[in-house]
Structure 1
């Protein structure tokens, strides 16, 4: 058994999708027989978002409640710790956190937070987990051009399966990137094989969450510059099309005039339970991708789409090269144009059970935590039969 520390941005932003994608790692690693902890630092003042009050500040009590409840429901009570901006420890005490670090075998940094650099310095294996393929590599490459070194980790993983291959134009910043699907613990979810007759096609998204990036003279944006190519989709299909969206400058009225239902993501998917209920109650997911994903053909597949598949909900996603790594055409469709998207939705409507079963099958065979995380640990030399268990 290995002791594994996961660092993320979840207690500071405890909304449904973020809670869900972190839970998959925690339950998945625990299910493989390891002792796993979520450790997080505020890092800076005003870093805590409260989705109930919809304010940001230094008070992370909403995050404490939500992560404590969620982990407790899944047999992980006492497996989280948070350090506030004023250096106050929550969840695990300072001594307990120190004790965890003293025996940690693997540190996973989900997003180059670097808030635990000192504590992780003597951990045998450190891993950077890149959640935004293309964006991360461009920023690191641009930093290199400015004379800034790439932060050191023992291994670098990305959700972009084409990164570092001829299929993608994304830079590597001199790093060997290993591909990883975002895992989904399918044991946690019962698939919905026969959705309601009026179930909408949905997604949960942020309109423009990150700053644009420029590489090689080309500027890449967010979903806000991708969605217009599919804005007429709602008028081409005979079923409700809905986006649960947050972010800046959302053209909600224009989208509604084009036939879309537009709801606030925080209204329908703020909590972990609401988020999964929303996904499970959909006919399917339709989603565009960030411009850098398609522009650099990174081969990305989201944790949200993995959750749709686990619920037995088919996924129609904008093309960015994932078809080389997951089976498409049944339960999962990768589309270039609005007409292709409309055709895929029509196929799902015509044979909902067939595509529901295929969706769940993809989740189980390719994305399940047992498949993804077992391979991940084996690549790092931390298989069940070869764990150091000794930390430092």
Structure 2
């Protein structure tokens, strides 16, 4: 596809989970990155009634629509984006008929987690790409629990679990030939910062996201399971750990344990509720403490967080939990992997020994491995070369 201007439809969740700046960026990197390459990009997002709020609101009057308008306005996507209520012709942004016209003329659909199921918008597009952002969980939900993950109707399957289908990864591939890809970062939106960090070691995430899975005697769990193994860590270093953590107030035992052990818990709804706020929080940090869901660790699929890629792009070093990514990314300078609390302490000591060196190395890793221009160009080429699959 080099030099070819494509018409691409991207579908993913922005308004369905409003006021989550990190989740918004995870989708925007694809929309903005493909547009940077010169492609005609249309963003369409279905918002189901249960995700719409406040209860009883119309699509147009929902806070989902308000957040959608805010984001598309900020990034110049007003004339190329539509919010859709599935099963109806009700939209915000582009009208339904225009979305259908765009789909009929489109070359490729990039469907994040398969959320777009509207036949009129899906079926006319010749290349329909399923993009998996939850490697390990996606495949196990389908193969073990029999959950319909929306694979049907797609022609190509892409995952950020770059080891899925390899000998080193025990997660079932569901009979699909997965194309592995890195997470793209639009580097012009994420410049390296040279200002003095305000925060210490930080991260943004959810204590629990969804149900855990057991497979072949192994638990594929949540961040709660990972962090409990490291609970005493803050007491072993003078560094400050700040977690922008979505955790339910009813998780009192865990909240009390976190506080008692020196973890500083802040509300991501206050510090990371928009793309700008999320970026400010990341770039004000000294280092990312990249905690992974225990399921990503167990899967060994090479998952690497879009959040960590943003820290690296910002010139902020990352200490990330080992999910198998050291087999695919350089570690030791700017990016350090850990398995144990002692590994984290050693990484902190190493970064503090020469912070500027590691900060510069972090940005270089982003430029070499996560630059959206490189990542998305390579991905489009691999999609073009791969045979169609129709599960």
Paired residues in the alignment total 375
Where structure 2 has 5 or more consecutive residues not aligned to the other structure, the ranges are 386-391
Q: Which residue of 2 aligns with 1:140?
A: 142
Pair 1:8 & 2:8 matched: no
Cα gap change, 1:49 to 1:130, in 2 (>3 Å): farther
Q: Is the 8 A contact 1:143 1:149 kept in 2?
A: no
Q: Which residue of 1 aligns with 2:212?
A: 212
Q: Is the 8 A contact 1:106 1:123 kept in 2?
A: yes
Q: Which residue of 2 aligns with 1:389?
A: none
Q: Is the 8 A contact 2:212 2:222 kept in 1?
A: yes
Q: Is the 8 A contact 1:160 1:300 kept in 2?
A: yes
Q: Which residue of 1 aligns with 2:389?
A: none
TM-score, normalising length from structure 2? 0.90
Q: How far apart are the structure 2 equivalents of 1:67 and 1:290?
A: 28
Cα gap change, 1:32 to 1:311, in 2 (>3 Å): same
Q: Is the 8 A contact 2:200 2:241 kept in 1?
A: yes
Q: Is the 8 A contact 1:159 1:300 kept in 2?
A: yes
Q: Which residue of 1 aligns with 2:41?
A: 36
Cα gap change, 1:218 to 1:239, in 2 (>3 Å): closer
Q: Which residue of 2 aligns with 1:226?
A: 226
Q: Which residue of 1 aligns with 2:177?
A: 176
Q: Is the 8 A contact 1:309 1:359 kept in 2?
A: yes
Pair 1:92 & 2:94 matched: yes
Q: Which residue of 2 aligns with 1:120?
A: 122
Q: What is the CA-CA distance between 1:224 and the residue it aligns to? A: 0.7
Q: What is the CA-CA distance between 1:265 and the residue it aligns to? A: 1.2
Pair 1:272 & 2:275 matched: yes
Over the aligned positions, Cα root-mean-square deviation in angstroms equals: 2.2
Q: Which residue of 2 aligns with 1:317?
A: 320
What SS does the aligned partner of 1:72 have?
Answer: helix
- List aligned pairs for 1:15-34, cutoff 5 A: 15-34=20-39
Cα gap change, 1:283 to 1:151, in 2 (>3 Å): same
Q: Is the 8 A contact 1:4 1:34 kept in 2?
A: yes
Pair 1:188 & 2:189 matched: yes
> For residues 25-53 of structure 1, what are the alpha-carbon distances to aligned partners after superposition, in whole Å with 9 as ceiling and x for unaligned?
1111001010111111123x221367xxx
Pair 1:364 & 2:363 matched: no
Q: Which residue of 1 aligns with 2:74?
A: 73
What SS does the aligned partner of 2:277 have?
Answer: helix
Q: What is the CA-CA distance between 1:87 and the residue it aligns to? A: 4.2
Q: Which residue of 1 aligns with 2:131?
A: 129
Q: What is the CA-CA distance between 1:174 and the residue it aligns to? A: 0.6
What SS does the aligned partner of 2:366 have?
Answer: helix
What SS does the aligned partner of 2:183 have?
Answer: coil
Cα gap change, 1:147 to 1:200, in 2 (>3 Å): closer
Q: How far apart are the structure 2 equivalents of 1:182 and 1:324?
A: 16
Q: How far apart are the structure 1 equivalents of 2:323 and 2:127?
A: 31
Q: Which residue of 1 aligns with 2:388?
A: none
Q: How far apart are the structure 1 equivalents of 2:255 and 2:80?
A: 40
Q: Is the 8 A contact 1:47 1:57 kept in 2?
A: no
Cα gap change, 1:346 to 1:31, in 2 (>3 Å): same
Which of the residues 298, 302, 307 maps onto 1:299?
302
Where structure 1 has 5 or more consecutive residues not aligned to the other structure, the ranges are 383-392
Q: Is the 8 A contact 2:219 2:298 kept in 1?
A: no
Q: How far apart are the structure 1 equivalents of 2:150 and 2:115?
A: 16
Q: Which residue of 2 aligns with 1:83?
A: 84
> For residues 284-313 of structure 1, what are the alpha-carbon distances to aligned partners after superposition, in whole Å with 9 as ceiling and x for unaligned?
100221122111211000111111111111
Q: What is the CA-CA distance between 1:148 and the residue it aligns to? A: 10
Which of the residues 340, 351, 354 maps onto 2:354?
351
